[in-house]
């Protein structure tokens, strides 16, 4: 089973480990530095003694009679060609070996002996004397370690003994630190628990915007804002959709009831059925539009793109709707270059043009004029303007009209058969084709402008 530690425990462990590691490294360096300094002082002293004895050996050439002045209480030993020729009483008293070989000394000619609970540092020196014959002497001098060197050892022991204490302090300190560090997280957790679908307007408190937790809180709050907006839209969409469904259904129901109650002859029934069929068509259109919008929202559509001639696609939409315009005596003019090719999905593109043109026809009074202009600017940007001479759209509502179910004048819209989804679908179609759409200022009526960036080339097939 994998051991999963809480963040707080991990923080504590890491802290403790770090403190112990820092302590161990610092202790090691303090110990090594002190030992090195004191040892070098000791060695200097020992070297002095070695030099004194060596000088005497050199001068006397092995005549030990003169040596009494060196004192017997200093532990040293003289060997001639590795055979002991002289040792002091102090050397003997300490029970130091009286047979030494070259292998007994390390490369610094140093050695340590212990006697009477004290450590002795022992150094060997090689002395060559004689004029006619060469004599090789080995001078071995021992010196008791001073208190300074022993106190370094004591220091080392205390440093090791300090580890448990440091461990306790480190754990306690880390516990306090991690508690302190996790304080804001606990507060955020409590606040976040209070946020539900009903209270999406609540935000988490940003304690310090500059630290990581503060940054995370800001990101989380932004996410909440987006969620709240989407949630609101969804709520409004559901309410609007229910309302849209209820209107034709109520109409069908009341037409049926009136017909059953009052209609006396076949013609009355025919009228009632015709009205009911009209409402059914409205319902079917509404369902079709809703499905189209939501299916794309759910991201389940695979959309193909290809290089198409915009002129011919706009012409074909005009052809489709010409009859509606003619019924109202509306003239449609289309100004365009020979051809403009762009990577688009033709179905979505035509759907958008169809909805805009249909609106222009719907909201333009009889004998009006609709002007369509398609052009490519020098920068490569492609613009399509569809301009009518109807009542126009007030500037403050030009963004809102693209929202689902939004209608400026419900009565007028309903009278022309609008569901309030046409512009939302048009916007979706244009954005799928990488363009943008808006209503712009014009001296009369409404002017809808669609803009496609230069080289808005898309992959021939891409899933959205
Ligand atoms: P609808 O199906 O009601 O026409 P749309 O989404 O197509 O819904 O349009 C939203 C609203 O924008 C319409 O109800 C109408 O009030 C307004 N509108 C759209 N196009 C025009 C236009 N060309 N002239 C004036 N008003 C328009």
Q: Which domains does the chain have, with CATH numbers?
A: 7-156 (3.30.450), 212-297 (1.10.287.130), 306-452 (3.30.565.10)
Burial (Cβ within 10 Å: 0-12, 13-18, ≥19) of residue 425: buried
Pocket of ligand 1 (CB under 6 A): 359-360, 363, 388, 390-393, 401, 406-409, 413, 418-424, 446
pLDDT tens digits along 414-437: 666 677 889 999 999 999 999 999
Nearest CA to ligand 1 atom 8: 420
pLDDT tens profile 306-343: 999 999 999 999 999 999 999 999 999 999 999 999 99
Q: State the pLDDT at residue 462.
A: 41
pLDDT at position 461 over 60: no
Sign of CA dihedral 32, 35, 36, 37: positive
Testing ligand 1's pocket by substitution, the residue of 361, 403, 423 carrying the most ligand atoms inside 8 A of its CB is 423
CA distance 122 to 153: 18
More confident residue, 132 or 67: 67
Mean pLDDT in residue range 353-376: 94
Mutate to test the pocket of ligand 1, among 391, 418, 426, 430 (most ligand atoms within 8 A of CB): 418
Pairing of strands 110-115, 135-144: unpaired
Six token digits for residue 122: 């022992």
- Residue 459 confidence class, pLDDT cut points 50, 70, 90: very low
Given a cut of 50, is residue 399 above it in pLDDT? Answer: yes
Residues ≥6 apart with Cβ < 8 Å to 43: 110, 121, 123
pLDDT, one tens digit per residue, over 72-84 is 778 888 888 888 8
- The mean pLDDT of 234-245, rounded to a whole number, is 84
Average pLDDT, stretch 226-237?
A: 87
What percentage of the chain has pLDDT greater than the value 70?
A: 91
Q: What is the pLDDT of residues 133-151, one digit of tens each?
A: 667 888 899 988 877 777 8
Q: How far is the CA of 298 from the centre of ligand 1 (A)?
A: 25
Cα 414 to averaged position of ligand 1 atoms, centre (Å): 10
Output the pLDDT for position 457.
Answer: 44
Distance between CA atoms of residues 219 and 10, nearest Å: 25
CA of residue 401 to ligand 1 center, whole Å: 7
pLDDT, position 108: 76
Rg of the chain (C-alpha set)? 50
**Residue-wise burial string across 380-411, b where 16 or more C-beta atoms lie within 10 A, e elsewhere:** eebebbbbbbbebbeeeebeebbbbbbbeeee
If you take atom 13 of ligand 1, which residue's CA is the nearest one?
Answer: 407
Please give the distance, rounded to the nearest whole angstrom, from the Cα atom of residue 312 to the centre of ligand 1.
Answer: 25
CA of 310 to the centre of ligand 1 (A): 24
């Amino acid at each position: 089973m994998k051991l999963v530690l809480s963040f707080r425990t991990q923080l504590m462990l890491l802290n403790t480990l770090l403190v112990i590691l820092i302590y161990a490294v610092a202790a090691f360096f303090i110990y090594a530095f002190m030992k090195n300094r004191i040892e070098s002082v000791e060695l200097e002293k020992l070297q002095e003694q070695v030099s004194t004895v060596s000088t005497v050996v050199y001068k006397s050439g092995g005549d030990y009679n003169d040596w009494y002045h060196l004192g017997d209480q200093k532990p040293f030993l003289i060997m001639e060609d590795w055979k002991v020729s002289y040792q002091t009483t102090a050397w003997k008293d300490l029970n130091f070996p009286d047979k030494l070989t070259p292998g007994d000394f390390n490369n610094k000619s140093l050695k340590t002996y212990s006697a009477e609970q004290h450590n002795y540092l022992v150094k060997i020196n090689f002395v060559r004397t004689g004029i006619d014959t060469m004599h090789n002497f080995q001078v071995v001098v021992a010196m008791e370690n001073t208190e300074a060197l022993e106190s370094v050892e004591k220091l080392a022991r205390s440093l090791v003994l300090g580890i448990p204490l440091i461990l306790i302090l480190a754990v306690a300190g880390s516990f306090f630190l991690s508690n302190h560090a996790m304080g804001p997280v606990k507060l955020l957790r409590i606040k976040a628990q209070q946020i539900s679908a009903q209270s999406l307007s609540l935000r988490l408190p940003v304690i310090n915007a500059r630290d990581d937790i503060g940054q995370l809180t800001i990101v989380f709050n932004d996410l909440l804002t987006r969620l709240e907006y989407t949630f609101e839209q969804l709520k409004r969409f559901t309410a609007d959709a229910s309302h849209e469904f209820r209107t034709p259904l109520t109409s069908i129901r009341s037409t049926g009831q009136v017909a059953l109650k009052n209609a006396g002859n076949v013609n009355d029934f025919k009228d009632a059925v015709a009205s009911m069929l009209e409402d059914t068509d409205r319902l079917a259109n509404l369902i079709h539009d809703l499905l189209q919008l939501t299916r794309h929202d759910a991201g389940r559509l695979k959309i193909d793109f290809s290089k198409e001639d915009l002129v011919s696609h706009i012409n074909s939409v005009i052809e489709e709707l010409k009859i509606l315009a003619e019924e109202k005596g509306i003239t449609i003019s289309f100004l365009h270059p020979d051809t403009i090719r762009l990577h688009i999905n033709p179905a979505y593109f035509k759907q958008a043009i169809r909805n805009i043109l249909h609106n222009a026809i719907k909201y333009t009074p009889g004998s009006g004029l609709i002007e369509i202009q398609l052009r490519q600017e020098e920068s490569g940007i492609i613009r399509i303007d569809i301009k009518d001479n109807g009542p126009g759209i007030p500037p403050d509502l030009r963004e809102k009209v693209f929202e689902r179910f939004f209608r400026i004048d419900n009565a007028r819209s309903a009278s022309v058969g609008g569901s309030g989804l046409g512009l939302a679908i048009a916007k979706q179609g244009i954005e799928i084709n990488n363009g943008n759409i808006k209503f712009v200022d014009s001296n009369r009526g409404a002017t809808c402008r669609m803009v496609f960036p230069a080289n808005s080339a898309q992959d021939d097939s891409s899933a959205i």
